[in-house]
A and B are shown apart, each in its own frame.
Chain A
Amino acid sequence: MIEIVSSILDGLLIGLVYGLASIGLTLIFGVMDVVNLAHGAVISLGMFSLYFFFGAGLHPYLALIPVAIIGFLLGVLIYQIAVRRILDGPPLMTLLATFAVSMIIVGIGTALWSTSPYNVNFKVQTLNIFGYTVTSARLIAALAAVLVTFMLYYFLYRTTLGKAVRAVSNNREAAELMGIPSQQILAISFGIGTALAMLSGALIATLFPFTILSGSIYELKSFVASVLGGLGNPTGALFGGVILGLIEGSVAPFIAISWTNVIEFVIFVLILLFFPTGLLGGRK
């Protein structure tokens, strides 16, 4: 029994990190109707950035700050190069363009770092909460995910720039008529979405070994989580991530780990079919 509860607890904590990754994906979709298929590649980059900052002697949790900044700049760059020009074209074009970006990132990563696993090695303690043990890294990762989510909400609802992001998300033409420079806002939103993906990748890297291809697993998890909560809805994405984590945690003691992906994809397709706007309702 204790094993099962610990496993569910583990699932809940990792679910919050999935949620953070999903928010990045869902924010970009919500603001500009682009499904960012470079999401997984960026998550991998987050993992590797943490690895290299840690290797350079930075404390892994302090390294989250430069990782976020790099993520933001990278996102703005991806937007300017690959997305801006075709944003008003057919939606399939942005899908393929972001996918092309993903191929480029993963390809370069594979050539530089091969596909063998890397590991961020730092001292991890186990904590005892009411008799259930969790590792400190997992707890801190979950808390960091929650903290970043709060910061995002503060930004979106309490700052002028955040309100501009929401305005552009609601109606780009109307926002432009109100004097909001929509191109800059779109670039900033893409930057924030990418920064969140990098951060979640960095947090995952503190927990598990990773390769340049690992991002694709978390990309799919992000899709499942965002779709669960309704694509375009950040609260829903966090909620979806937690549900996904809980599912993983509760089935882990009973079946082989290689089956969890099958279950998740089946859930994914079923949710898309029967609740296309998610359990919490999609954007608007």
Chain B
Amino acid sequence: MKLLKAPLFWLIVGVTAIFALLPLLSNNITLRETLVLSAIYIILAANLNLMIGYTGYVNFGSIVFFGLGGYLTLWLVGSHHWGLYSAVLVAGVSVSALAFLLGIGILRLRGAYFALATIGVNEAVKDFVSNFDVWGGSEGIFLPFTAYKAMGGAGKALWTVYLLIVLVMGSSLLLSLAVRRSKFGLGLFAIREDEDAAVVLGVKAPLYKTLAYSLSAFLPAIAGGLYFFKNGSVVPEEAFNLNLSIEAIVMVMLGGQGTVTGPTIGAFLYERLRGMLLTIPGLSNFHMVIAGVLLLLIILFAPGGLMGWLYRIWPRLRRVLE
């Protein structure tokens, strides 16, 4: 495997291990709850980057995968008494398949039209779920406490779920790296630069785009399943929160779209920034404003994000961090 020789591969493994071991060894639950949020943000940003950064299609509604994954998992675990592992896997595969079917349709749209359709998809799914009685309508699904029993009680289950989320985070980053180095990834980059030229050169653009869209749905759906299992409940407003989608875009742009490292750093920094703002009285209401100003400044003055800036002042960095 060529991938094993990449320095970034080992960096990803190392970061994932730190995320897993740091709270586990110190048995620090506060730290775990902070890191779980970072991990979720990194998962969302890294997978969104497959669309925005690699393929050049802005997906405003990427959160729909996360939410649907959460709903499917809780429904399978709660109403059908499935185990967590099989439930999240089935959720991931079904959401990914759904994204594939959806992608065949909406990826015929380009640029702004596609972006608008993704907002529409998220809002339509949210409204649909809010009216869908099988999934509890606007009340959502609450997991009975007994659901945690199979995993050795709630306390132990939360640790297991945390480690699984960190695992999904590591997989997301490795997926980004693997796609970037593959022929498939090169095809996506070609589509980003000039879709018509790519088609002329033999890139199967419709198939590639749809695969990228479907791929970007898989791990967020699993993460959604784990996250809402951990919370014990899921409601439409939280599962399909368009703001979180938008914040994921800010993270991707902040770190640097199209790179593997960028969205991760962006997500981590954004989570820290957000946490800081929420604790400062008087500023807690302004976190969306600050995110907006941040996004605007990046777009206007540093479209390459943090990684673009780092590459410029230190070109050799490209060899290590992709």
Chain A residues within CB distance 8 Å of chain B: 29, 35, 82, 85-86, 89-93, 95-97, 99-104, 106-108, 110-111, 220, 223, 227, 231, 256, 258-259, 261-262, 265-266, 268-269, 272-273, 276
Contact = CB atoms under 8 A, between A and B. Distances in A.
A35 B115 contact: yes
Helix, strand, loop or mixed for chain A's interface? helix
Contacts, number: 119
Given A96-B253, A272-B109, A104 B124 contact: no
B246 A261 contact: no
B296 A97 contact: yes
Contacts of A29: 112
A262 B128 contact: yes
Contact of B296 (A91, A104, A259, A265): A104
B106 interface: yes
Interface stretch (B6-14, B142-150, B216-224, B282-290): B282-290
A93 B299 contact: yes
Name which of A100, A102, A273 has the most chain B CB atoms within 10 A of its CB: A100
Contact of B127 (A104, A258, A273): A258
B293 interface: yes
B105 A103 contact: no
Interface string B16-58: 0000000000000000000000000000000000001000101
A273 B120 CA distance: 13
A108 B300 CA distance: 21
Given A97-B295, A262-B131, 11 more contacts: A82-B296, A86-B299, A95-B111, A102-B292, A103-B246, A104-B289, A220-B123, A258-B131, A261-B124, A262-B124, A272-B116
B291 interface: yes
Nearest to B52: A92
A108 B109 CA distance: 33
A95 B127 contact: no
Interface of B: 52, 56, 58, 60, 105-106, 108-109, 111-113, 115-117, 119-121, 123-124, 127-128, 130-131, 246, 249, 253, 285-293, 295-296, 299-300, 303
A265 B127 contact: yes
Given A96-B58, A273-B109, A265 B120 contact: yes
Contacts of A258: 127, 130-131
B62 to A, nearest CB: 14
Contacts of A276: 108-109, 113
B304 to A, nearest CB: 12
Contacts of B115: 35, 92, 95
A29 B291 CA distance: 25
Report, nearest first, the 7 A-B pairs whose CB atoms are least far apart. A103-B292, A107-B289, A265-B124, A107-B288, A100-B296, A111-B285, A104-B292
22 contacts: A29-B112, A35-B115, A92-B111, A92-B115, A96-B253, A96-B295, A99-B60, A100-B296, A100-B299, A104-B289, A107-B292, A110-B288, A220-B119, A220-B123, A227-B113, A231-B113, A262-B131, A265-B127, A266-B124, A269-B117, A272-B116, A276-B108
Contact of A95 (B112, B288, B290, B291): B112
A103 B116 contact: no
A93 B298 CA distance: 10
Contacts of A102: 292
Nearest to A110: B285
Contacts of B130: 258
Nearest to B294: A100
A49 B120 CA distance: 28
Contacts of A262: 124, 127-128, 131
A258 B129 CA distance: 11
B123 A261 contact: yes
A250 B292 CA distance: 39
A111 B287 CA distance: 10
Nearest to A266: B124
A101 B296 contact: yes
Contacts of A259: 127, 131
A259 B133 CA distance: 13
Given A223-B116, A259-B131, A269-B120, A100 B286 contact: no
Nearest to B119: A220
B105 A269 contact: yes
A35 B112 contact: yes
A85 B301 CA distance: 10
Most buried by A among B121, B128, B286, B289: B289
Given A96-B249, A223-B116, A273 B292 contact: no
Contacts of B121: 265, 269
B128 A268 contact: no
A272 B113 contact: yes
A223 B120 CA distance: 10
A102 B120 CA distance: 17
A146 B5 CA distance: 67
B289 A111 contact: yes
A236 to B, nearest CB: 15
Contacts of B60: 99
Contacts of B105: 269, 273
